[in-house]
Structure 1
């Protein structure tokens, strides 16, 4: 975790709350620099003669017991109090306390997008609505109003997408009863979309507009990954949204941008890549020129999906980006597990070195 993020967490912790929480004996008073806390016991030397003083607001302090001379800030005090465990344990403890006090990690703000594409989406309502309402369908799937806004989701109640076919005839597709998922290119321009049925009565769960580019030509949410050092690729739009939701809960992952591949492969060819990012491998190359260092694939927990992830990882490695694979529970995708499982899978990801790729092919953990 960066110094800035650690400082943000520590600033959220009130020392009096922390001492009460941990049942640490103290007396509140005033010192020359403001409110001061006098602690009975030093977490470093163990002296219990009320010789420890720390600032109630800053957490800065000292132990004056004998030759101890320990100095504290919030982090060092908490670490000493916990018995000097590994940094990861201290960090997890600090996050828990900060959350108890109402802290929430800042979420990445979506880049501005251009909705004027020269063609019209089916008439639909941007989510959340002007009065802050969301679809119950999305709420049931864990898609909050904040996530709906970030991904520019819309709801089409009863409308058509009109297009001209190859023979010049005007036709239409009915997108009523569907969540509209806009897809943007690297520049943030609307290029296509898909509609997810929410009624349960449609023959097709997903409907794709005719005469527009296939969604598999683009990386979903790649416009928000421009300048990012790390991305995590789910398969579909709702997998990508689930990854975003999970990473928003973990401050150490807030800079990892979730993207989607719309299938378990990457479109395009390395020997004929599109420098403008108009296919998926071209987009990866473009992201690399903008600072991308790491790519993690998080597809379904299945034998075939892992094999495909290793193949995709090989392609990613060839463009000079470090490639990893994150293993979810068997038979599950990011949208089917709790956020904690998504975070755990990412934290335990495996780098796709030549040796590891051979191991995963010979001993697929999902078999």
Structure 2
């Protein structure tokens, strides 16, 4: 956590689609908190990366983009991507490989090797599981962000011919594995202080520790990296004797996320597996409209961290005021915690939860949701 009294400068990057709308609401809320809580925050709104920037300049970002973002303490990104619907053939659109490339460039170039995505079912949020225990979903999925399946090593030979061959190389290092798993155990230790009686009861039923780290691999089919993860997991676990251990294969984990998600605490996974599991966890905790995330380097503050909701750019509803800004606001709360403003972050989270419960079942616009959240924060004050 940063020093709470230190001036922090933030880059607001709306991006594409509904990112523009939810970022505007995030700026409203940040302005309110800055003024009400006297937070030492400043920010600038950047019109890149975005499809609109690409249309004007032929690229998603300026040539010196990485040098520019390193001047900030945190980056808040709305969403990227605009494939364009078939009903608008003249619309300027880009393939995902181009429009989403800045995400990988930020994560790798800034060495943001850990992606954290909490999944907690708030009262009033949509609940897709009938089991009453689903109300107690509260997990943290930590995804490796810098290597693994997304290193983009490989290629296509004989492209377009009947004999085409495509290769995609996965790269896992002991250093990357160890720092990821140790971070997961540290996160579990912090969460141990906040586990409630219901979780303790569920864990005692299963003979589990109240705090737990679950390792995800596919070591039965991919033994090289699966065994590396397993061995490092066992080694690091010795440093955290109070934390329970669990190991699931990714396919079994998907099943158990639906069958008994309340049993999971901290989940640690490779880049690809974490990507898949976090979307599933988001739906179980109310949907992508309530799913925040951050990309951080827990060992260093030399580069800014990147914060982004997980919902994507949703071009089919962009510009219609239908987007739910809650995921963006919960993401902003994660950013505030990172910058050392935990009380303001908790105030924002509580307001989002209170508004969600008070407005259950109502259909509201993006700005109306924010207005309700601001009203709850004003009442808290």
- TM superposition score normalised by structure 1: 0.30
Q: Which has the higher helix share?
A: 2
- TM superposition score normalised by structure 2: 0.29
When Rg is computed on C-alpha atoms for both structures, the one with the higher figure is: 1
